[in-house]
Structure 1
């Protein structure tokens, strides 16, 4: 599991690079989600095959992956809504 669990750098650590830093943050978040889902899938396979020793870990991994995916989807949806609102304002 990533050490930051979708925690990006604080505002003081990010230089004013505009959209590039936001894009990097999104790419990092998607990478974290993929890693969380991979861990969840691996533990699910272990549960099905009977190799899992800690069901609690599998449940936590599944929940973390689900919440992280919901977070990334919400950020994406809000970004699309903001873009659409900006486009309406220009018309």
Structure 2
């Protein structure tokens, strides 16, 4: 029996609120979909996270951003999300390689 994964609810802070929380909830809410659908959804959310970070970075560079901590939080969330997706990809490749090594 497997239990669904549930993430810690995100704390809303500025423009970057809940991005990492939405990535954590991907596995729990889409467990009935196939692995490819979950992976594609995670990549889409990662791209959205990186877009928000890029927009906040431009605003910080031009001086239009009121609170620089919003950019720092978004940057940290983007970094953690990128590391998570890369780790999942590496584990999937390792699992595929191990399956290919199995003898029939």
1:88 CA displacement: 1.0
User: Any idea what SS the aligned residue of 1:52 has?
Assistant: coil
Cα RMSD for the two superposed structures: 2.1
Consecutive unaligned residues of structure 1, counting only runs of 5 or more, are none
Query: Is residue 2:47 matched to residue 1:29?
Result: no
TM-score (normalised: structure 2): 0.73
Alignment of 1:1-91 (within 5 A): 4-6=21-23, 7-10=25-28, 14-15=31-32, 21-90=34-103
Alignment coverage as a number of residue pairs: 86
Structure 2 gaps, min length 5: 1-15
Give runs of ≥4 in structure 1 deviating > 4 Å: 1-4
Which structure has more relative contact order (CA 8 Å, sep 6+)? It is: 1
**Could you state the TM-score of these two structures normalised by the residue count of structure 1?**
0.82
